[in-house]
Amino acid sequence: MLTADQLLARLYALRKDYADDPEDETYQALHHAFLFISYNMAGFKDYIRAEAEKAAND
């Protein structure tokens, strides 16, 4: 499983792919998801850690 930092970096890269049209719904979704997660990174890291533990126990 990717780390929280790696997932955020992937969202950033995807967001840049759509940045040429800021009105595009995909860009807006990626942009707001990226901002929300980056501002709540501690919670996102906790979530990723818990999901990784669940996956390891399955």
What confidence tens digit (pLDDT) does each residue in 2-56 have? 999 999 999 999 999 999 999 999 999 999 999 999 999 999 999 999 999 999 9
**Is the CB of residue 12 less than 8 Å from the CB of residue 35?**
no
**Is the CB of residue 52 less than 8 Å from the CB of residue 1?**
yes
For residue 58, pLDDT over 90 is answered with: no
Domain extent for 43: 4-57
If one counts the domains in the chain, the total is: 1
Q: If we measure between CA atoms, which residue out of 18, 54, 52 comes closest to residue 34?
A: 18
